[in-house]
Amino acid sequence: MMKELKIHNTIAYLILRRLPLFKFENGNVLNRDRIKAVSDWVGSDHVLKEQNYLLFCETIQDVEFEDINDGETE
């Protein structure tokens, strides 16, 4: 199964799980303890809300690099 990426506010996330929002609602209130428990269970470090779903995500870290000049010109 191919993993899905989500870009939100210029930050890239790897979606680990997409679960229906109703599983975390108690009336119109979100059960934050349940969200935290699922987040810990799947190993996510960020949760996004998308229409009728919660996306449990792993943040993709920016890679710091520097150009290597080997003396050759292009």
- pLDDT recorded at residue 74: 55
Higher pLDDT, 12 or 69: 12
- pLDDT recorded at residue 69: 78
Print the SS3 string covering 4-48.
EEEEECCEEEEEEEEEEHHHHEECCEECHHHHHHHHHHHCCCEEE
Instruction: Name beta bridge partners: 18.
Output: 55
User: Model confidence over 19-56: pLDDT tens digits?
Assistant: 999 999 988 899 999 999 999 999 999 999 999 999 99
Are 62 and 13 contacting, i.e. CB atoms less than 8 angstroms apart? no
Q: One-letter amino acid identity for 37?
A: A
- pTM recorded for the entire structure: 0.78
